[in-house]
Amino acid sequence: MKPRPKSARYLPFGDSALLIEFGDTIDLEVNRRVTALAEAISVAQIQVEEVVPTYRSLLVCYDPMKITYEQLAFRIKDVEESLERTIKEKRGRRFVVPVIYGGEYGPDLDFVAKSHGLTHEQVVKLHSSREYRVYMIGFVAGFPYLGEVADEIATPRLETPRLKVPAGSVGIAEKQTGIYPCEAPGGWRIIGKTSIKLFDPQEQPPTPLKAGDIVKFKTVSEEEFRTTEGKSLSISTRNTKE
């Protein structure tokens, strides 16, 4: 039987937010507890302004004029203790992201391949054959942190970040992979690009992905790339395991 996970730490974050820390590493079990607690807080209708799930912690913003730190911590602890020992998560929503790897779309594919003694095709296969979990959204609006990539393609960030990474770029940083929803500076190794639109402030919610969702990459032709240009990502209904 699995040991009971060590209990979460409750830490003040200024005078109007509470940080609940489940661990200090990138870990699937830790992240499951984060998303499960976020969900449970919303079900329990605790008076909070906003919750922000990240890799390993949940930030809960509150209005100190409505609820005190102690009252809030007490109510959330109650909810947290009722979480299952091992989170039995509903299978997250699945999304398929069409990508062109390498060339002008993925300037670092060559580096990633060479540094691991792999061919381009092997890197693409390793990257696109896995299902990734959305651990969190952050950095820039709509940027999903996905994990974890196969050890064979885990690659450190660029030593000097690029000033501009184009929108749609798919990158690797250590064991994480992610998609730049808009042009931004960044140091991730760019191996490909999607033409799908990942962030639109006119939509509600502005990005289709949320922590706990599942993302898979699929290689597409230039033609398909053009047909998905600017389209938004939709939930996949068909089984992508080929």
The binding site for another protein (CB under 8 A) comprises 11-17, 19, 21, 24-26, 49-57, 59, 61, 64-65, 68-69, 136-143, 145, 182, 199, 201-202, 204-207, 210-211
Query: Closest approach of Cβ 53 to another protein, in Å?
Result: 6
Query: Closest approach of Cβ 5 to another protein, in Å?
Result: 16
- Of 55 and 105, the one with the shorter C-beta distance to another protein is 55
Given a contact cutoff of 8 angstroms between Cβ atoms, the answer to whether 95 and 236 are in contact is yes
**Residues in Cβ contact with 160 at an 8 Å cutoff, skipping those fewer than 6 apart:** 187
H/E element, 134 = strand 131-137
Question: Bridge partners of 131?
Answer: 216
Query: Closest approach of Cβ 242 to another protein, in Å?
Result: 31
Give a three-class secondary structure readout of 46-105. Answer: CCCCEEEECCCEEEEECCCCCCCHHHHHHHHHHHHHCCCCCCCCCCCCEEEEEEEECCCC
- Of 68 and 119, the one with the shorter C-beta distance to another protein is 68
Given a contact cutoff of 8 angstroms between Cβ atoms, the answer to whether 62 and 75 are in contact is no
- Of 109 and 165, the one with the shorter C-beta distance to another protein is 165
Query: Closest approach of Cβ 137 to another protein, in Å?
Result: 4
- Of 51 and 190, the one with the shorter C-beta distance to another protein is 51
- Of 30 and 113, the one with the shorter C-beta distance to another protein is 30
Query: Closest approach of Cβ 164 to another protein, in Å?
Result: 13
Query: Closest approach of Cβ 96 to another protein, in Å?
Result: 20
- Of 42 and 227, the one with the shorter C-beta distance to another protein is 42
The CA distance from 170 to 61, in Å, is 31
**Residues in Cβ contact with 210 at an 8 Å cutoff, skipping those fewer than 6 apart:** 134, 137
Q: What letters, b where the CB count within 10 A reaches 16 and e where it falls short, cover 153-168?
A: bbbeebeeebeebebb
